[in-house]
Chain A
Amino acid sequence: MAERLIEVKDLEVKFHTEDGVVNAVDGVSFELQRGQVLGIVGESGSGKSVTAMTLLGLTRDSNTSFGGEVIYKGRNVLDMNEDELQDVRGNEMSMIFQDPMTSLNPVYSIGMQIGEAIRVHQRADKAQARRRAIDLLRQVGIPNAESRVDNYPHEFSGGMRQRAMIAMALACNPDVLIADEPTTALDVTIQAQIIELIDRLKDEFNSAVILITHDLGVVADVADEIIVMYAGRVVERAAKRPLFYDPQHPYTWGLLGSIPRLDRPKQERLHSIKGTPPSLIRTPKGCKFRPRCPHAFDKCMEEPRLENRVEEPGHLDRCWLSVDEKRRLRVPTLEGTEEAA
């Protein structure tokens, strides 16, 4: 039985703003085991990044309120004070941010920035931290690590900066590695390198990974389980194969259908999800996806619960359509054979 590292129960994150309350995360639950890769997928504004940042206590603010629990090794992260959190953050749980250009400090050398976590958390001296930084750079595949360690971020290319970010996140052998859109700013070739690297390092460091992305193609290789988020809510949750081969929620179909497929003949028109994600201050009544859903009907005015509706245990979704209807209705979207609107 794998060791359970994180258990998130009914997590709610609300931002109190001048315009009203933003329900950024609304009742999200999941578990993460050691050695597992969890993919969190959704569009901008679906709450996926806020969920991840909350796990590290990065969304704490006087205008933020939380609900539910984030249990990490038996303790609720939401109840920890700043000192306790400091011990966990960057040490046992760490994060790789989306944009390596802006998340590195331009006035410190790469080695200093990687070494900082080691000096703080493991009370290492400067020389030890430097040696460790060189090791880490080598592990993430930076050539000439001994000389590169003294470079500044502007001397690195985009892909190398992202590798340096990963080295930094791995500095203290974290149990949980959270990667927030780690490849979105990168070329496809570099994206393939980075995803492969994260997958390999997960095994080497024996940690668990949360991989956040808007592109289901990115998680098709590495994720074990996938959560699809929409407007702060989980709309579907399943192991990788059921999610790709038997997707239950129309939003998931839309995400899958939007990707131009190299493995198929060229489509005349790409599927697109109409409109834009709703404002999280005034979310639609009933099912949050209803206004954009081509299959919405009367019952959708009431919000469905996230529950298991298919044969596969553990495959949860939030949609009123019957399983048979879903399997029929999704075909044109998934196969790209629908008529041009």
Chain B
Amino acid sequence: MVDESRSDTELVKAFQRGDARAFDQFVARHQSRVFRLALVWLYDASMAADATQEVFLRAITGLRTFLFAAEPFTWLYRTQRLVCHEFNRRRQHETLADEPQSTDPTAADTLDAQRIATTVRSLVADLPERQREVVVLRIFEALSVRDTARAMGCREGTVKALLNKAKASLRRRWEST
């Protein structure tokens, strides 16, 4: 059950005062979003689950000393990107060394999640990285322009411009197929 009565900032401040339940609420509020984003970046449901867990474990130490220079979700998103990069690097390493590991094919949910992730990835695959990020955050995650700009560390005008370019590219590609 996600408690929406308190903002992220209030939850993190309560957590810093030692309220462990506030951290549980913070996790419950953001775990789906972090998992979906990890799924798009990692393209693997079990790795996305591991990455989500790692993000929140880092949040325990990171948010204890958080100074609120940015929104807590911005911090969480950037940490999530960092963790996904690390997982991708590690996977490339492992793939070179060992046989590639496939996920459990019997898990229907896992397959479904990967199918959706594949759809999203194929949709944004040809876009430049910044446009891809804007499409995922602004369209798929339905973040506001302001929150998208904060998460990406740029101005709101930049987000709008990138989104317009990305949409035009996607539309052109859709019409050409």
Partners in one complex: no
Q: What is B's interface to A at a CB cutoff of 8 Å?
A: none
Q: What is A's interface to B at a CB cutoff of 8 Å?
A: none
